[in-house]
Amino acid sequence: QVQLVESGGCLVQPGGSLRLPCSASGINFATYTMGWYRQTPGKQRDLVATITSGGITNYADSVKGRFTISRDNAKNTVYLQMNNLKPKDTAVYFCNGNYWTQVYWGQGTQVTVSS
């Protein structure tokens, strides 16, 4: 019954902004470290950002200063705010949650940055 559902992906112009929400169900959300990862065809899935249950954040160097991860435990939702988007940010973005041995993934949402 565990489910992570990303949404908000779309086509956006370079320099634009976008916010991706991921809603979780079936887990004790507040105890989980949440994260965002991204993947392009034929490439590995790379970490974008993580946020711990205590609110500590970590970012990939490629997005530092442009992206912000946050969480709303009352809504069981983690967000990725993306600013100053670049074509290289084009990817399928996946929501992730983990706690001890439990790891869950969303199905992904497509973000395309192009003029």
Side-chain-side CA neighbours of 62 within 13 Å: the count stands at 12
CA distance 1 to 21: 19
pLDDT of the residue at 46: 98
For residue 93, the model assigns a pLDDT of 98
Residue 100 token pair: 């001890």
Using CA atoms, how far residue 36 sits from 5, 97, 109, 115, in Å, is 12, 9, 11, 24
What stretches in the chain show pLDDT beneath 50?
none
In this predicted structure, what is the pLDDT of residue 5? 96
